[in-house]
Amino acid sequence: MPTRKHLQSLATATSFSRGRGYFRAGSVGKTTHTSDLFPARVHGPHLHKVQLFVTILRLLPLLLVGCQPAPPKQTAAAGPPRPAESLHPLPRLFVTGNFDGDQRPDTLYQCVFSDLTKTEIARGPAPFQPFQDEPDAAVDWFAKRRAEVLLTLGRPARDTLRLGFGQGLYCLLNLGDTNSDGRDEVALVVDYLDGSRVNSCQLLALCQGKLTIRKHFSIQEGAFDEAATPPATIPGFLVKRRGHWFYTDYLEDAAADSSAVEGQLKRLSIPPCP
């Protein structure tokens, strides 16, 4: 029987935080362990199909993998054919900043990568909206291509961070040097294909040449429903006031909605690299 420590060692910070939220809400039934999968029955106020899983990623030479300067031809052609008009360009975000502390601009690029074809997926189905769309078609399309969101530093790639199964990012923000270590930090939220509206804002820094998650906190994806594209903040959860960033944790603060969260903002502190 899997233990919490075992699950946490296999999961990303985001997936573990989300699963813990489901469990604490009493929504997770019996969990079983098959190979590297942990299926569970999850119930909630909405009728939807969701599969929660933890997988062990194969170690790959990531220096050879990264977001490409231009999308390769036919990158979305793997799997069964679909009408060309049903596919749309996938958003590709980037942000510049002094991430390595050398006072010269660096660029972080985001893309969706196929672990099946080892190429970037430039086009895909229309963005999946939890509780609005039937999840099977869009989710299965990406699953068959073993899609994964990547964040790459520079071109050619100096480092690449794998962010998990998703269709892109909701936001990619340069927060500036929040901890006075001479390097800018970054905030991002992955658009996961999991049917949940509870998500995690991940705070990254470049530590010893590696993109590293230094902190994360829970948010509610409804914050992006009316936000600008791409947003400069996460309304109600991560905002800038008087030159400083403030945040609130959706699960820890047990807030019912973003209006309840707004009055509970705390000064953001990101631990410096060790």
- pLDDT tens digit sequence for 220-254: 999 998 877 778 999 999 999 999 999 999 988 75
In a domain, 182, yes or no: yes
Whole-prediction pTM = 0.69
Say which residue, 184 or 80, is predicted with more confidence.
Answer: 184
Looking at the fold, whether 90 and 73 belong to one and the same domain comes out as yes
In a domain, 116, yes or no: yes
In a domain, 228, yes or no: yes
Q: Are 67 and 110 in contact (CB under 8 A)?
A: yes
Looking at the fold, whether 39 and 151 belong to one and the same domain comes out as no
Looking at the fold, whether 40 and 67 belong to one and the same domain comes out as no
In a domain, 264, yes or no: no
Looking at the fold, whether 75 and 36 belong to one and the same domain comes out as no
Highest mean pLDDT among 17-31, 83-97, 146-160, 199-213: 199-213
Q: How confident is the model at residue 132 (pLDDT cuts 50, 70, 90)?
A: low
Looking at the fold, whether 115 and 137 belong to one and the same domain comes out as yes
Say which residue, 172 or 55, is predicted with more confidence.
Answer: 172
Looking at the fold, whether 8 and 131 belong to one and the same domain comes out as no
What pLDDT score was predicted for residue 63? 43
What pLDDT score was predicted for residue 26? 53
What pLDDT score was predicted for residue 77? 45
Looking at the fold, whether 73 and 34 belong to one and the same domain comes out as no
In a domain, 240, yes or no: no
Tokens encoding 244: 């400083």
Residue type, 199: N
Say which residue, 24 or 267, is predicted with more confidence.
Answer: 267
Looking at the fold, whether 187 and 69 belong to one and the same domain comes out as yes
Range of the domain at 18: 1-56
Q: How confident is the model at residue 175 (pLDDT cuts 50, 70, 90)?
A: very high
What mean pLDDT value characterizes the chain?
Answer: 77
In a domain, 247, yes or no: no
Looking at the fold, whether 193 and 86 belong to one and the same domain comes out as yes
Looking at the fold, whether 154 and 77 belong to one and the same domain comes out as yes
Say which residue, 189 or 72, is predicted with more confidence.
Answer: 189
Looking at the fold, whether 103 and 196 belong to one and the same domain comes out as yes
- Inform me whether the pLDDT recorded for 109 exceeds 60: yes
Mean pLDDT of 120-148: 80
pLDDT in tens, 4-46: 565 666 666 666 666 666 665 555 555 554 444 455 555 544 4
In a domain, 201, yes or no: yes
Total domains, the chain: 2
Say which residue, 134 or 246, is predicted with more confidence.
Answer: 246
Say which residue, 118 or 19, is predicted with more confidence.
Answer: 118
Looking at the fold, whether 1 and 19 belong to one and the same domain comes out as yes
In a domain, 188, yes or no: yes
